[in-house]
Structure formats: C-alpha cells, structure tokens
C-alpha cells in the first residue's frame, strides 16, 4: 500500500497467499491423528497439543483480520505480512508389537512483520523474505 505523510492510521486487509492443510497419515489406522499430534507436541517440548492445528473435516482456515497501523509520517510502499510456523515431518512411532510410520503437516502460532518496500528487511526468516518478494519484488542488498 502506498502511504503518504498525511495518511496517519492505515488499515491493511490481509489476503491468503498459501493455505496449509493440517493432515496426519499413518501406516496403521489404529493410531489416531490426536496421538500423533500429542507425540509431536511432546517432542517439541510443548505442554499443550492444542497449539498445533489438527486435521478437521471442515475447512481449517485461520481467520484474517484487518490490521490498523500508524506509519508515524513515513512515506512509501508498505506491506503488513502475517503467517504461521509450519511443521512438516515424517515419523516412526514404536507401539506394542509394531512400528507405525507416517507423516504429519501442521502449523502453530502467529508471526507478523511490517515491511517497507525498498528497504531490505535484513532477516534470515524465509517467510519474511518470501512476503517481501511477493509484494515488493526481489530483495536487493
């Protein structure tokens, strides 16, 4: 969004760039998605499995809300980016008398960044670099 000095508070309306669909696949149907997510949460040293997005029958999209920002008199093209941290992993679970193999894709948390086009965000975070490239063009040193 192009911001002028006189604009004051500006409202950004996020739009979806990528949809991460939580899913769990196992070699044994007796192992539930909840068991897999609980083991993953334990492995990641989280107390609450509810921090991870679980597979659901209905659409599991995150709600996006408008973001109001004051650019304090700065001018130029600005972007407000938000996202989640994605976990995409293969696993082996030792169950009594058998090993179960599978994969899990899930996400957790919220991350956000305010970016000024033409100003390198100077971060190694891939999602910030991607947001910048998608909205502002290639990163320049």
Write the pLDDT tens digit of every residue in 1-59: 777 777 778 888 877 888 888 999 999 999 999 999 998 988 888 767 888 888 874 44
- Could you give the CA distance from residue 51 to residue 37 in angstroms, rounded to a whole number? 10
- Strands 67-70 vs 9-12: parallel, antiparallel or unpaired: antiparallel
Element (H, E) at 91: strand 76-95
CB atoms within 10 A of CB 107: 19
Query: So where are the chain's domains?
Result: 2-136
- Could you give the CA distance from residue 141 to residue 122 in angstroms, rounded to a whole number? 9
Q: Which residues on neighbouring strands pair with residue 14, listed in sequence order?
A: none
Dump pLDDT digits (tens) for 45-90: 876 788 888 887 444 456 677 778 776 677 788 888 888 888 999 9
């Amino acid at each position: 969004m192009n911001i002028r000095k006189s604009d004051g508070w500006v409202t950004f309306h996020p739009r979806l760039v990528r949809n991460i669909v939580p899913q769990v696949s196992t070699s044994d149907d007796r192992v539930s998605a909840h068991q897999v997510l609980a083991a993953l949460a334990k492995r990641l040293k989280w107390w609450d499995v509810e921090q991870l997005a679980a597979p659901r029958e209905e659409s599991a999209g995150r709600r996006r809300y408008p973001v109001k920002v004051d650019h304090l008199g700065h001018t130029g093209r600005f972007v407000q980016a938000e996202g989640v941290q994605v976990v995409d992993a293969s696993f082996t679970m030792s169950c009594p008398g058998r090993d179960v193999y599978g994969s899990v894709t899930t996400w957790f948390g919220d991350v956000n960044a305010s970016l000024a086009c033409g100003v390198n965000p100077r971060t190694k975070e891939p999602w910030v670099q991607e947001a910048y490239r998608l909205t502002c063009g290639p990163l320049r040193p």
